[in-house]
Amino acid sequence: MSTTEESRAVFQKWWAAFIKGDLEGMHALYADDFRGWSPGRGYIGKEETKQFSNWFRTLLVDGWFKFDEPLVTVQDDRVCFATASHADLKNGNHYNNHYHFLLFIKDGKIVETREYNDTGHVMAVLHDEIMAKRAEMAGVAA
């Protein structure tokens, strides 16, 4: 199997778990030294990624997102894809973000992700929740 074929197979397994909100399935495909980057958060490791995903799902009415069919490009050890998410939020807003992801795959595991999204949208619909989480992480009252 070529590196491109292996990367495509890992992505397909990960995507199947991702769209179902199967965090265990997603995280099983991350390498032990995995790191994920997104704007405003920077790089975080495997456990922090799991914690963030678990926290974010508590903000959603149905516990996970619906996603548009991704536009995917796979070359060697890299997978790029664009998609959009849709979810009703417990605060009454609707989450509809747009993304471009870059995944790096090595030895059948995802070693790094880079997630580019609309941070303006995130703050517009989740400002209070984001500020409360930042305060909690800093150990201060919101």
Do 14 and 29 meet the contact criterion of CB atoms below 8 Å apart?
Answer: yes
For the stretch 87-118, pLDDT in tens is 999 999 999 999 999 999 999 999 999 999 99
Residue in 92, 100, 85, 86 with CA at minimum distance from that of residue 129: 92
Which of 95, 80, 103, 126 has the alpha carbon at shortest distance from 26?
103
Residues 6-40 pLDDT 10s: 999 999 999 999 999 999 999 999 999 999 999 98
pLDDT digits (tens, 9 = 90+) for 56-90: 999 999 999 999 999 999 999 999 999 999 999 99
Q: Which domains does the chain have, with CATH numbers?
A: 3-137 (3.10.450.50)
